[in-house]
Homo-oligomer: A and B are copies of this chain.
Amino acid sequence: MSSIINSDWTDPECPVARTLDLVGDRWSLLVVRDAMDGARSFTEFQRRTGIARNVLTDRLRKLTAHGLLAQRTASSGRRQEYVLTEVGRDLFPVILTLRQWGERHAFAPGETHSTLVDQHGTPVPEIAPASADGTLLDTDTTHVRKAP
């Protein structure tokens, strides 16, 4: 379908661009979202995302090739399953901030949506980026320093 290895980056020195080169397409992050919420099998990913099967094949392979997913034999039986690696699980803050932005801006007031809760059923608080001294940070108070 398409090449699995991607070693020419859109913008090699920008970490944002590199991340998007790896997971910044229409479906990869939804696959990761579902993996975080318990999906392991091809069919389960397909059912949850609604992605076309050939495209899912491609995405699972790419995510695996890039080390975000691992394919291992299911505990019982011979079936294979896809599980998040530590690298893949580390996308948690990305999925969480996407979720929180969506909750704030992509729903009409009063419209219901799913929520992320912790083990006690308590909703996860909103992420608020802050500097080391605790002051809140945003676009106006930060800037990119180019690599040396």
Contact = CB atoms under 8 A, between A and B. Distances in A.
A92 interface: yes
A78 interface: no
Interface string A1-45: 000000000110111111111101110011001001110000000
- Interface residues on chain A, size class: 35 or more
B125 A127 contact: no
A94 B13 CA distance: 19
Interface in A133-148: 135, 137-148
A61 interface: no
A95 to B, nearest CB: 6
A121 interface: yes
A116 B102 contact: no
Nearest to A103: B15
B125 A132 contact: yes
A109 interface: no
Contacts of A92: 129, 137-139
